[in-house]
Amino acid sequence: MGLKCDKCGKVFVPPRTVCEGCFSDISQNWIDLKNTGIVTGFTVIRYEEPHQPVKPPYILALIKIDGSDTPIAHIVKGIPLSKMRNGLKVKAVFAKKSRSTIMDIDHFRPDEKPQFELGLTYDDLEVGMSASFTKTISETDVYLFAGISGDFNPMHLNEEFAKTTPFGTRIAHGALPQSLIAPVLGMKLPGLGTVALEITCRFKAPTYFGDTITATGEISEKMEKKRWVRMALTWTNQKGETVAEGTALVMPPAPVPQ
């Protein structure tokens, strides 16, 4: 509920009973207002106040109720401080029992659906679409991967040993270039929100330190019943040689409900 001035048309929120523009008595001019509004300013209260039912720290915000002309100060819950911002849409949560507060509002909470950036949905995808990711494999990458995976095979880390092998020098872990398909699936095609259900890989040539590997995924099949897609995968080096081939079965992100 709000109070409207008949003279200037401004709308105020209780407990105000006098128009701040023309000082007219508006105590009886009740109108309906929405229970939503916009944050126009806020602060964090870090000390206790006897009249407040919540313990610090908490967010105290200036909120312009939709349809009113001036903001009110009230508590906002349900949002971390790092996400709080001016312009945030909020909705009133009313007290279960009247506590003689402003319109018996207990607090406000965010009234916005979380927005997530997502990749292409099943319906957006078409057979033949492809995407790639390229990276040069350095010695540092190999040592870091050894630490992450726990694979300290001298084939990858000991040059003297590697010289005695058919390769004549150290080679990267096979799973290192293979992992470059992850940013293709998770960041490009289908993209953010994708879940990989199955990945196969057959190595055809080694990856040496300093090789530049391009991982490519191409949609080869759409599976309507489960709304999954199958992709053909290839890994090539800077010479155009194929170092690995495989397939992926992925679940694209679902459309965000409107």
Q: Which amino acid is at 67?
A: G
Angular region, 184: left φ>0, alpha ψ -120 to 50, beta rest: alpha
Domain with CATH 3.10.129.10 in the chain: 122-251
Look at residue 113 in the predicted model and tell me its pLDDT: 64
d(CA 55, CA 64): 24
Scanning the structure block, which residue is given the tokens 């490519």?
A: 216
CA angle 11, 1, 94 (to 5 degrees): 130
Report the relative pairing of strands 2-4 and 212-223 from DSSP bridges: unpaired
Which contiguous run of DSSP H or E holds residue 139? helix 139-149
Residues 2-13, mean pLDDT to the nearest whole number: 65
Tell me how far apart the alpha carbons of residues 198 and 222 are, in angstroms, rounded to a whole number. Answer: 15
Threshold 0.85, pTM exceeds: no
Looking at per-residue pLDDT, the higher value among 188 and 72 belongs to 188
Per the model's pLDDT, the better-predicted residue between 78 and 220 turns out to be 220
> DSSP strand E in 95-227: where?
105-110, 130-136, 195-203, 212-223
Judged against a pLDDT cut of 90, whether residue 166 lies above it is answered with yes
Residue 173: the pLDDT is 97
**32-72 residue pLDDT tens:** 677 888 999 999 888 887 776 678 888 999 988 887 777 88
Tell me if the domain spanning 33-110 has CATH number 2.40.50.
Answer: yes
Where does CATH 2.40.50 sit in the chain?
33-110
In this predicted structure, the answer to whether residue 238 has a pLDDT above a threshold of 60 is yes
pLDDT at 153: 97
More confident site: 71 or 91: 91
Tokens 């155009």 map to which residue? 240
Task: Report whether 132 contacts 214 (CB < 8 A).
Answer: yes
Contact 55/90 with Cβ under 8 angstroms?
Answer: no
Q: In this structure, are residues 61 and 39 in contact, taking their beta carbons and an 8 Å threshold?
A: yes
Express as a percent the part of the chain with pLDDT over 70. 81
Q: For residue 111, what pLDDT band results from cuts at 50, 70 and 90?
A: confident
Superfamily (CATH H level) for 122-251: Hotdog Thioesterase (3.10.129.10)
Amino acid at 85: R
Mean pLDDT of 16-26: 65
Taking Cα atoms as reference points, which of 230, 253, 222 lies closest to residue 120? 253
Alpha-carbon span 111 to 92, nearest angstrom: 9
CA distance 126 to 182: 20
pLDDT of residue 10: 67
Distance CA 144, CA 173 (A): 11
Q: Would you state the structure tokens that stand for residue 198, as one six-digit string?
A: 């199955």
pLDDT given at position 157: 97
